[in-house]
Structure 1
Amino acid sequence: MESNMAMNTDMYPLYIGGKRVETNKIVPVFHKYTGEQIASIAWAEQCHVEEAVSCALQTFRDSTLAPYERYEILLKASSIAEQRREELERSLCREVGKPRKDAKGELDRVINTLRLSAEEAKRISGEMVPLHATEGAENRIGFAIRVPRGVIGAITPFNYPLLLSTHKVAPAIAAGNTVVLKPAPNTPIASFQLVEILEEAGLPQGYVNIITGGAEAGEWMLDDPRIAMYTFTGSEAVGARIKERSGLRPVTLELGNNSPNIVHSDADLGKAAGALAARSFHNAGQACIAVQRIFVQKDVLQEFTNKYLAHVQQLVVGDPEDPATDVGPMISEKEAIRAEEWVHEALSEGAELLYGGKREGAMMYPTVLAKTRPEMKVNCLEVFAPVVTISPYETIEEAFTIANNSAYGLQAGLFTSDLNIAMQGARKLEYGGVIINDVSTYRNDVMPYGGIKNSGLGKEGPRYAVEEMTELRMVVLNL
């Protein structure tokens, strides 16, 4: 089917019920490496948010898409995304500043997530409830079914705009919901591309509606009681506000982290150093499970550090559209300046610079620090930049303790050849995911993904997101 979104233009109005909606305010979108303007987006007012919710609600009430149809649409969307790979990868390079190899990885995961979500559309089921186990219910039959919640309010961040929109929208469709999607205003193009792909695959207009705007648009979404559930990926502060304002409505929150990665003395140091160096600066460190804190058993600290730095020194920094580039710019010069200030603050308080520390505009070069303290910002807060600290520990128990000394709890990495230590880590590390012999950054889209403590609530991953986006309804037959 032909979309009304008209993606052959660099102007992106709001998209509500299959219609392009113009607004009074227009905001530019910039190439994150060159700084040139690459697009413009409409800026929503409250009336537009209300219109989008109304459209989503009416579409939900009128919905006739059966599970097999949702399966077919999502599966076809995955094929279309594959066919448009070159275009989508280049777009991510431009609007996010993501190196080409990272953009390829994001596209691979988008395609896989669409396929996984398609499969989940066919697996939604219920369960029998043995009412006859209690006296007086001999003639009753009970069963529970899963039903869609209704309108899902989805708010996505800048760092993985296509993938994280897919992780919210595709399971919502699989579950039978409709969506009001608010992408990050500095990386909105990917969301429009996703909806265009879904509608080309056969999704009726009105199922996904796009609102672009600032924080006030998110507030207006929270004000609307017709939104049945909120799913958000972003900062801890915004997540806490969503939880506070959502009342009794369910929320899924994927928030911050300062990911610890433990390298024990019995680990394969070459493997650990290579894996950690490769993923420490992925997407310029702008991932909530990016490697941030590396803890190394003191007997192998120097050997590991030498191996790690040897890998880091090979990383190519530069134009994200150059296939050789490993590390591109951060999302903005403002964020790069913040990261640089945190590094300078740590150095002024006694930290040692092992590598990097250089900034040019929005480009923060890979930076490695040693001799830091837990209370320094580069350790206790989410740095969200290509900045890593390396610290020693004595015993594995101490490593678990210092790794857990965090307000966050999303994912942790542990390198060891000892199965007992691996299982201790699985039990003792206070994180939603514990990755053994790989980095904290590892995420397979089929797995349950979500943190504890200040890292959020609920789980993503298509199967688990479908559970979050449906509710259990009890049915009793009195015969």
Structure 2
Amino acid sequence: ELGGNDPLIVLNDLSDGDLAKAADLAVAGATKNSGQRCTAVKRILVQEKVADRFVPMVLERAKAIKFGDPRDPATQLGTVVHEKAAALFEKRVHMAAEQGADVLYDPGRKGALLPPIVVDRVPHQSELVMEETFGPIVPIVRAPDDDEALIKLSNSTAFGLSSGVCTNDFRRMQKYITGLKVGTVNIWEVPGYRIEMSPFGGIKDSGNGYKEGVIEAMKSYTNVKTFSLPW
């Protein structure tokens, strides 16, 4: 497994209650562990029809996060690995803004402490969402209401590790499970959801060789033997 640029995809069949649930997943998935997980939510792809209702919910949840000294038990969001990384991620936010994105919430970086920055209308070709931004940025890409176009957009990065899809339409679930070029598709969960028994790994620049997971790891230590009998 070699890193990811994992989307949480929010489809346009959702009620306000479901959008609130999706917003919970989006913000938690982007900010837990300071966003420093290969399966963190790196891109939020929301269809245009519901975007105006969804974005304020994301903003509200991000603003409620207490960030600061990681030694303080009350802190919900601490630092990233070092100041250089934080500065890079902040730079990508500024670059996205220059490309037309709207920075809705940015309390300001202090050294390696990077707050949960919310950025709306991020161009899908922006470095912020095309590369793996390994920090607590919450980038929202407003995506077409056409499912095929959205799947193509989601597949447009070099990575293919995991994904999450929020929809209540079973046929659309099947479409995204089939169409997304990733190792894992989670319905109504963050991309990072997994159990140890399940295979885990990516495709494209997100991995090579065998997958992780108990059963798959056992397979890597075995050789398949073919035999025949005379009756």
TM-score, shorter chain, exceeding 0.5: yes
Structure 1 unmatched ranges of 5 or more: 1-253
Native 8 Å contact 1:343 1:357 kept in 2 = no
Q: Which residue of 2 aligns with 1:427?
A: 178
Q: Which residue of 2 aligns with 1:361?
A: 111
Specify which of 183, 189, 202 is matched with residue 438 of structure 1: 189
Q: Which residue of 2 aligns with 1:382?
A: 132
Q: Which residue of 2 aligns with 1:468?
A: 220
Using the TM superposition, give the Cα deviation of residue 348 of structure 1 relative to its aligned residue in structure 2, in angstroms: 2.2
Corresponding pairs, count:
225
Matched, 1:294 2:47: no
Which amino acid in the other structure matches residue 470 of structure 1?
A: T
Matched, 1:345 2:92: no
Q: Which residue of 1 aligns with 2:5?
A: 258
Q: Which residue of 1 aligns with 2:207?
A: 456
Native 8 Å contact 2:173 2:187 kept in 1 = yes
- Coordinate RMSD, CA, aligned: 1.9
Partner SS state of residue 262, structure 1? strand
Native 8 Å contact 2:42 2:139 kept in 1 = yes
**Structure 2 vs 1, CA of residues 424 and 474 (structure 1 numbering), >3 Å: closer, same or farther?**
closer
Rounded to whole Å, the distance in 1 between the matches of 2:107 and 2:37 is 19
Task: Report sequence identity in percent.
Answer: 37
Q: Deviations over 1:19-49 (max 9, x none)?
A: xxxxxxxxxxxxxxxxxxxxxxxxxxxxxxx
Native 8 Å contact 1:274 1:311 kept in 2 = yes
Q: Deviations over 1:280-305 (max 9, x none)?
A: 11111111111011111212111111
- Report 1:148-187 matches (<5 A): none
Using the TM superposition, give the Cα deviation of residue 357 of structure 1 relative to its aligned residue in structure 2, in angstroms: 6.0
Partner SS state of residue 271, structure 1? helix
Which amino acid in the other structure matches residue 219 of structure 2?
A: E
Using the TM superposition, give the Cα deviation of residue 472 of structure 1 relative to its aligned residue in structure 2, in angstroms: 3.5
Q: Deviations over 1:155-195 (max 9, x none)?
A: xxxxxxxxxxxxxxxxxxxxxxxxxxxxxxxxxxxxxxxxx
**Structure 2 vs 1, CA of residues 323 and 424 (structure 1 numbering), >3 Å: closer, same or farther?**
same
Native 8 Å contact 1:319 1:325 kept in 2 = yes
Native 8 Å contact 2:27 2:138 kept in 1 = no
**Structure 2 vs 1, CA of residues 442 and 357 (structure 1 numbering), >3 Å: closer, same or farther?**
farther
**Higher relative contact order structure (alpha carbons within 8 Å, sequence separation ≥ 6):** 2
Structure 2 unmatched ranges of 5 or more: none
Using the TM superposition, give the Cα deviation of residue 466 of structure 1 relative to its aligned residue in structure 2, in angstroms: 1.7
Q: Deviations over 1:29-73 (max 9, x none)?
A: xxxxxxxxxxxxxxxxxxxxxxxxxxxxxxxxxxxxxxxxxxxxx
Specify which of 63, 83, 87 is matched with residue 333 of structure 1: 83
Rounded to whole Å, the distance in 1 between the matches of 2:158 and 2:66 is 33
Rounded to whole Å, the distance in 2 between the matches of 1:398 and 1:430 is 14
Native 8 Å contact 1:330 1:364 kept in 2 = yes
Using the TM superposition, give the Cα deviation of residue 339 of structure 1 relative to its aligned residue in structure 2, in angstroms: 1.0
Per the normalisation by structure 1, the TM-score is 0.45
Using the TM superposition, give the Cα deviation of residue 395 of structure 1 relative to its aligned residue in structure 2, in angstroms: 1.7
Rounded to whole Å, the distance in 1 between the matches of 2:71 and 2:219 is 38
Using the TM superposition, give the Cα deviation of residue 476 of structure 1 relative to its aligned residue in structure 2, in angstroms: 8.7
Q: Deviations over 1:66-123 (max 9, x none)?
A: xxxxxxxxxxxxxxxxxxxxxxxxxxxxxxxxxxxxxxxxxxxxxxxxxxxxxxxxxx
Native 8 Å contact 2:36 2:80 kept in 1 = yes
**Structure 2 vs 1, CA of residues 357 and 387 (structure 1 numbering), >3 Å: closer, same or farther?**
farther
Q: Which residue of 2 aligns with 1:172?
A: none
Partner SS state of residue 414, structure 1? strand
Which amino acid in the other structure matches residue 110 of structure 2?
A: E
Per the normalisation by structure 2, the TM-score is 0.91
Rounded to whole Å, the distance in 2 between the matches of 1:424 and 1:399 is 11
- Report 1:316-327 matches (<5 A): 316-327=66-77
Native 8 Å contact 2:31 2:77 kept in 1 = yes
Native 8 Å contact 1:277 1:308 kept in 2 = yes
Q: Deviations over 1:297-320 (max 9, x none)?
A: 212111111111111111111222
Q: Which residue of 1 aligns with 2:62?
A: 312
Decide which structure has the larger Cα Rg and report it.
Answer: 1
Native 8 Å contact 2:62 2:118 kept in 1 = no
